[in-house]
Copies of this chain bind each other. A is one copy, B any other.
């Protein structure tokens, strides 16, 4: 039995509080499914590390982390200590780029006991994934400014899509769709307005679709697609999108299900050549940090995605079921205040671990 090595970076703010509960749940799942997990903790990748060392990561971070099977991240960012563009580009975005985590995967799902902002929707009605391209597209840093400081000042920035980059995210999304009962893929486009890169994206979707005749494919322009997330979230199964569109949809999707505070996010290198990274969507939440009341479900759900990525789908599913069971139960005493409970990060974490 091979031990799976997990690098744990608690990071900033509530990351420090929810990570222990994520680990508690992972240990419970590991015991039940007889999985060997080995955790190693790191201080870097946090704003406090930056304040001490003048950088977010040590120079040899790539060598240090390369040997791990996955990175289990809490949250990074604390604008009062370090500006976001330094803390985020100095950590998370380095990992995405250098570990070629070209997939960003986020589930959008109505959970029992969590209020959705949408009217008349029940758990089961909404259950889809957003698959986001995570390395190129609109996030290229190519461009610049001309005529600086004058009335003619002009800035330009390039969107770059490569066949390799587009095809591999589409392949991942088609395969994910194929593995699900509805076998449905929706592509986000804007080829009626963004007239060069987006028609190319559509072209590659068409070409790729030929290899997956059992997957039904549709596409929407991003404007009406965001509208349909609100109006018809039940239409979606797997939604695939460029870096920017995926960024938008993977915040909007969890917002529609009311789960933005508990949603997980996976930055995946599907080939496993480099470690993948799992972090909750919620961020470091300076306003409630240090109070012991942060909801640990996002971090625990990240653990579930991590186990699934490592090949333990059953264990991952069991963790999600445990979350849902605790949320659905009538006894709200262990729940955190955001769930209208009187409990703490730890009491909710313990309850979920026990349910696993």
Chain A interface residues toward B at CB < 8 A: 84-85, 88, 115-120, 138-139, 141, 143-145, 150-164, 190-197, 200, 222-224, 226-228, 230-231, 243-244, 247-248, 250-252, 254-256, 260
Query: A196's contact among B155, B227, B248, B256, by CB below 8 Å, is which?
Result: B155
Q: CB distance A247 to B117 under 8 Å?
A: no
Least CB separation from A227: chain B residue: B255
Query: A157's contact among B85, B141, B164, B196, by CB below 8 Å, is which?
Result: B196
Q: CB distance B248 to A223 under 8 Å?
A: yes
Interfacial chain B residues near A248, Cβ < 8 Å: 222-223, 226, 248
Interfacial chain B residues near A226, Cβ < 8 Å: 226, 248, 251-252, 255
Interfacial chain B residues near A243, Cβ < 8 Å: 193
Interfacial chain B residues near A143, Cβ < 8 Å: 158-159, 196-197
Interfacial chain B residues near A260, Cβ < 8 Å: 227, 231
Complex Cα distance, B191 from A248, in Å, reads 14
How far apart are A156's CB and chain B's nearest CB, in angstroms? 5
Given contacts A193-B247, A196-B141, contact A159 B161 (CB under 8 A): no
Interfacial chain B residues near A144, Cβ < 8 Å: 196
Interfacial chain B residues near A158, Cβ < 8 Å: 143, 156-159
Q: Identify 14 new A-B residue pairs, CB closer than 8 A, beyond the known A230-B252, A231-B260.
A: A85-B191, A139-B193, A141-B195, A141-B196, A153-B163, A155-B160, A156-B159, A156-B161, A156-B196, A157-B158, A157-B195, A193-B247, A223-B247, A223-B252
How far apart are A205's CB and chain B's nearest CB, in angstroms? 14
Query: A231's contact among B85, B117, B154, by CB below 8 Å, is which?
Result: B117
Counting chain B CB atoms within 10 Å of each CB, the highest count among A116, A151, A227, A244 belongs to A227
Interfacial chain B residues near A231, Cβ < 8 Å: 117, 255, 260
Interfacial chain B residues near A88, Cβ < 8 Å: 192
Interfacial chain B residues near A195, Cβ < 8 Å: 85, 139, 141, 157
Q: CB distance A194 to B151 under 8 Å?
A: no
